[in-house]
Amino acid sequence: MNDVKTWRTLVTALALMAAPFAFAQQATPDKAMRIIAAGPPGGTLDVVARLLAEGLQRELNQSVIVEAKPGGGGAVAVNDLMQAPRDGNTMVVTLDALVSEIPHIVKLRYDMAKEVRPIAELARGGLVMVGNPSVPARTLPELISYVKANPGKVSYASYSAGTASHVMGLQLNKAAGIDMTHVGYKGSPPALVDVMGGHVPLMFAGIPNAIPLVKSGKVVPYAVSLPQRSPNLPNVPTFAELGYPQLEALAWVGLWLTPDVPAAVQNRLREAAMKVMAQPGTRERLTEFGLEPGKPRTPDELAKSLRSDYERIGAVLKSIDFKPG
């Protein structure tokens, strides 16, 4: 009998000792969570981060604030993340380019593939090739014929050298046998301004940024990089439809933590985020903005895709002897 009492006492004591540890494995509920959006206020990443924050507040019954911190292709936001406690209360919302593209473009303080971990794919989107209305072409075949007839005279803008909007132009050059000249910018807004102004005739732009300009007639769309047509641009064909399947490309917005955040916290945040992003209202708002809901890929699947994309983009950039800045 005494042995039984002793055993029960021991079990109770162990349970009480484990309780604080289990609590420590979760983000602190009485502390506001921070989501750092690695882009400007009102931009794609900020919009996605705020949709997520609204839902997480309901799911976790915890305050969630969003801070927009653009710069360095996500490096500024990651630097903030690295300085924060590793308890899951600070997260970053940014693009897959953080690992697949940016390390090719600039020399970074951190090895992004090791220092940050994507735990959920929140949304995805593609690029659309657009042109100034003065370009004498309204379809991609017409555009390719025009470029061929004017060798070395047609340029295209990207939102930054080394990114998908740069690489896709290189891929189209090779696939179509043309020679568009690349002009790199620091962000989509100044590049699109110059396309609208006729300073650069063409651009591979993010669909959310281009939609209002297409609908207002300020730019002409030629093709999208999505696997299927965009609901927001139903009359614009995909590159694959037009015979260029190699230009199919999707970027995705992820929720990122440092890998040393406890696994229980990572799983809890992933489950909550996936639940929020699957809600009909959230999916509808993403579609209105020109994005698609993310896929329920696991963190390991996301990491594998990042490695593959990093190698693919690196091979293209190496072929033109591209050097990081």
> What is the tens place of the pLDDT at every residue in 203-227?
999 999 999 999 999 999 999 999 9
Burial class of residue 195 (count of CB atoms within 10 Å of its CB; 0-12, 13-18, 19+): buried
Task: Give the mean model confidence (pLDDT) for residues 163-183.
Answer: 94
Residue where the block lists tokens 């390991």: 300
Q: What is the mean pLDDT of residues 248-262?
A: 95
Residue 13: per-residue pLDDT:
40
Distances (CA, A) of 76 to 68, 297, 303, 307: 10, 26, 21, 22
Helix 188-196 to helix 207-215 angle (10° resolution) is 30
- Using the structure block, give the residue that is written with the tokens 């936001």: 77
Surface-to-core class of residue 111, CB atoms within 10 Å of its CB (0-12 exposed, 13-18 middle, 19+ buried): exposed
Please state, rounded to an integer, the average pLDDT across all residues of the chain.
89
Asked if 93 and 53 touch (Cβ cutoff 8 Å), the reply is: no
Residues 48-77, mean pLDDT to the nearest whole number: 93
pLDDT band for position 14 (cuts 50, 70, 90)? very low
pLDDT value of residue 22:
34
Task: Write out pLDDT tens, residues 233-244.
Answer: 999 999 999 999
Tokens 């959920």, located at residue:
120
Of 3 and 132, the one with more pLDDT: 132
Mean pLDDT calculated for residue range 272-282: 97
State in Å, rounded, how far the first CA of the chain is from the last one. Answer: 75
Give the span between the Cα atoms of 215 and 31, in whole angstroms. Answer: 43
More confident residue, 11 or 66: 66
Q: What pLDDT sits at residue 85?
A: 96
Q: Please, are residues 46 and 40 in contact by the beta-carbon 8 Å criterion? A: yes
Confidence at residue 8, expressed as pLDDT on a 0 to 100 scale: 44
Given a contact cutoff of 8 angstroms between Cβ atoms, the answer to whether 163 and 105 are in contact is yes
Two structure tokens written together for 157: 């803008």
pLDDT range class, residue 26, cuts 50, 70, 90: very low
Q: How many CB atoms lie within 10 A of CB 12?
A: 10
Most confident of 31-45, 71-85, 169-183: 169-183
pTM of the model: 0.81
Q: What is the pLDDT of residue 29?
A: 58
Domains of the chain: 12-17+22-124+251-319 (3.40.190.150), 127-247 (3.40.190.10)
Q: In what order do the strands lie in the sheet with 155-158?
A: 181-184, 155-158, 202-206, 127-131, 220-224
For the beta carbon of residue 140, count every other beta carbon within 10 angstroms.
Answer: 22
User: What pLDDT shows up at residue 93?
Assistant: 97
The alpha carbon of 247 is separated from its chain's Cα centroid by a whole number of angstroms, namely 18
pLDDT of residue 319: 83
